[in-house]
Each structure stands twice: as structure tokens, then as C-alpha cells.
Amino acid sequence: MAPALTSSQELDDFDSVVRLYWQRVFRFALASLRDRHSAESLAQDCFFRAYRARASFRGEASVSTWLMQIAVNLVRDHVRDRRLQFWKRARQTAVDVSAAASWIADAGASPEAAASTKERVQAVWDATENLSERQRTVFLLRFVEDMDLLEIAAATGMKEGTVKIHLFRAVQAIRERMGRAK
Amino acid sequence: MIEHLSAEQISQWMVGERTPQLEQHVTGCAACRGELAQLESTLSQFRSAMRDTSSTVGAPAWREPAPSSWFTWPRMALTAAALVILVVAPLSWRAHVEQQNVREQAVQVALSDSQLLESVDSEISQAVPEPMEPLVTLATWNSTAAQKQKLQRQ
């Protein structure tokens, strides 16, 4: 059995790194920016920056957490840049997760159950748009990327307690929205 | 004993803050267990929906970026600054040296002029030409001595 690669060695084969983590970075960007083109461009930028900075990677966190850290920073910059614009460009490639939600719920569920699932997933999706940038980031990292609190703290640069507070508020806001959607 | 979990306690549970008291309640309360299960299920379906939605864009083929071009903006700015220093600095130094030389020459001319004037002044202020100066001294000495003798006689 081949010995496990250390985090730093993992970066030597960057093609594999891209293949392995692309989906995660792209998904986070997509859920944050809600636009396919912007998300794709941000994901490419994330890997490009990681490639350029790979020599400075010390392996204190996993490659995955390190890449998410870069992605979180890029999303933050992107959102701030967008805020500076006087108008918001209409999203040409906006994302609709409700279509996927109905497909997922259809697997063996009754039409009523499928409709209810679609509605609830749509409510979560709508609620994430109205969260603050930090609340949305910790929520997506926790409930979409399945990262634990310490990994989220490392990726966002927040303390674990701060992550908990943002997550708590995000869950509360989402439950409120789901309650209204019932 | 808690009657049912409050909205804050449900959020607390979802964040992972599960106190023994909350755990005890959830174990014994079917309604709260159902509420939490539905929330967890919704979030799980949201995760699946997100994963499904994003899976349509596959990873692009990674191409190693070309080594960074030497002519990036900061480098170009630095190069321009270095060129300015290399070209302008010797020119301004030369101009500075030339100016200094001119100033020194002017000072020397002024000095020689003043020396000349001083010598002219001293020549003009002399009562007799230089070769005759001992005679003047003698005459002065004589007149002084005669005056002294006259005074003694009186």
C-alpha cells in the first residue's frame, strides 16, 4: 500500500487537486454568488491563486480547507465589489435549485411529499440570499460542504465561538423563512 | 422538565450545542424529535439539491499557467522609475557640478578683483613711491626730534 500523501505533497500533482476539489469550490461559489458564470470564474481564480501560492502552503490545514479559505476570501471580495456598483447586473445565468429539489424528492416520494420538499428547499435557498455575508458563508460551509466548526473557523479566519453565533443566527433566519413557506 | 424546544433551542441543537437537558428532552419528546428530523431532512435535501445543481459544471482541464510575464504592471513601473533615475540622475549631477564650477570661478574672479582693488588702494594711499619711503620716515623722525628739542628749550 502506497504511503498517504502529506498535504504539501498533494499539491505536487495540481491536476489531481483540481479534479478532486473543483466541485466543492465551484459549489460554494455558486451557492454564494447564485450565478454560474461568476461561480465558474471565481473557482478558476481560486485554483489559479492556489497554484501560485502553493510554495507557501505549510500544511497546517488540509488542502481542502486551504482552498476553501481562498474561495471564502474571493467570494468576500466579489460581494464587496458588487456592492460598490451603482446597479446590479441582471443575472443571465441565475441558479434555480428548486428544479433539482423536485428531482431529488421524486425518488419514491408521493407527489405531495415531493411538492412539500421542493417548497422547503426553495425556502432555504431564498433565505440564504437574505443572510448576511458571514452568516451565509458559515451556513453553506456547515450544511452544504459538511465542514465542522473548527474547519469553518480555519477557512473563514473567525474564532470557533463567532462561527457558532453566525451559524445560530443563520439557522434561526432559515427556520423563520421555512415557517412562512409552510 | 422542558415542555417543547423553543426556536432558540432548536437552532442551538442544529449548531451542535446539545446539553444533557436538551438531549433528555429530545429522547422523550416525539414532537420535538419530529421537528428536528424534518429540519435535518430539509437541510440534507438542500445539500443534495446544491450538489446536483453544481455537478453540471465539471472540472476544467488544468493547464499549468505560463510563467508570469516579466512585464507586469508593478515591474514596468519599477523599471520606468529605475530608467528615470539612471538617465536623469547623471544629467542632473552633471548640471549640478557645472553650476558649482561656475560658482567657484565667479568667486575666484571676485577674489582676484578685490585683491587687485586692495593693491591699487594701498598704492594710491601711499604718499610717496615705495623707494622713497625711508626718506619720508627720516623726515618725519627729524621733525619730531626738532619739535622735542624746541619744547625742552622753552
Phi-psi region of A159 (alpha: psi -120 to 50; beta: other; left: phi over 0): beta
The Cα of B10 is separated from the nearest Cα of chain A by a number of Å equal to: 8
- The helix or strand, by DSSP H or E, that contains position B154, with its residue range, turns out to be none
The CB-based long-range contact list for A123-126 (8 Å cut-off, 24+ gap) reads A123/A174, A123/A177, A123/A178, A123/A180, A123/A181, A124/A174, A124/A177, A124/A178, A124/B42, A124/B43, A124/B46, A125/A97, A125/A98, A125/B46, A125/B49, A126/A177
DSSP state of A4: P
The Cα of B21 is separated from the nearest Cα of chain A by a number of Å equal to: 19
- pLDDT tens track, chain A, 182 positions: 455 566 667 888 888 999 999 999 999 999 999 888 899 999 999 999 999 998 888 888 899 999 999 999 999 999 887 765 655 555 556 676 666 665 565 566 788 888 888 888 889 998 999 999 999 999 999 999 999 999 999 999 999 999 999 999 999 999 998 886 55
- pLDDT value, residue A180: 65
Q: What's the distance, CA A93 to chain centroid?
A: 17
Q: Is A144 on the interface with B (CB under 8 A)?
A: yes
Residue B59 exposed, middle or buried by CB count within 10 Å (0-12, 13-18, 19+): middle
Q: Please judge whether A149 and B16 are an interchain contact, meaning their C-beta atoms are less than 8 angstroms apart.
A: yes
CB A73 within 8 A of CB A41: no
Q: What is the pTM of this model?
A: 0.69
pLDDT top residue among A105 and B128:
B128
CB B43 within 8 A of CB A29: no
Q: Please judge whether B49 and A121 are an interchain contact, meaning their C-beta atoms are less than 8 angstroms apart.
A: yes
The Cα of B11 is separated from the nearest Cα of chain A by a number of Å equal to: 6
* Residue B23's pLDDT band (cuts 50, 70, 90): very high
For B29-81, what is each residue's pLDDT tens digit? 999 999 999 999 999 999 998 998 888 777 788 787 776 555 566 777 887 88
The Cα of A86 is separated from the nearest Cα of chain B by a number of Å equal to: 28
- pLDDT value, residue B71: 59
The Cα of A181 is separated from the nearest Cα of chain B by a number of Å equal to: 13
- pLDDT value, residue A92: 54
Q: Please judge whether A19 and B59 are an interchain contact, meaning their C-beta atoms are less than 8 angstroms apart.
A: yes
* Residue B110's pLDDT band (cuts 50, 70, 90): confident
Question: Which residues in B lie closer than 8 A to residue A178 (C-beta atoms)?
Answer: 39, 42
The C-alpha cell of B31 is what? 414532537
Give the chain B residue whose CA is nearest to the CA of A170.
B11
CB A167 within 8 A of CB A139: yes
Question: Which residues in A lie closer than 8 A to residue B16 (C-beta atoms)?
Answer: 149, 164
CB A114 within 8 A of CB A102: yes
Q: Please judge whether B45 and A15 are an interchain contact, meaning their C-beta atoms are less than 8 angstroms apart.
A: no
- The helix or strand, by DSSP H or E, that contains position A141, with its residue range, turns out to be helix A133-143
- Residues 8 through 37 of chain A touching chain B, CB cutoff 8 Å: 14-15, 18-19, 22-23, 26-27, 30-31, 36
Q: Which residue's entry shows cell 422542558? A: B2
- pLDDT value, residue A113: 81
Give the chain B residue whose CA is nearest to the CA of A27.
B54
Among the partner-chain residues A44, A104, A149, the one whose CB lies closest to the CB of B48 is A104
Q: How far apart are CA A110 and CA A151, in angstroms?
A: 38
CB A20 within 8 A of CB A76: no
Among the partner-chain residues B16, B51, B58, the one whose CB lies closest to the CB of A27 is B51
Between chain A and chain B, the number of residue pairs with CB atoms below 8 A apart is: 101
- Tell me what the mean pLDDT of segment B122-140 comes to: 71
- pLDDT value, residue A148: 95
Amino acid at B61: A
Amino acid at B31: A
Among the partner-chain residues A99, A120, A167, the one whose CB lies closest to the CB of B15 is A167
CB A101 within 8 A of CB A123: no
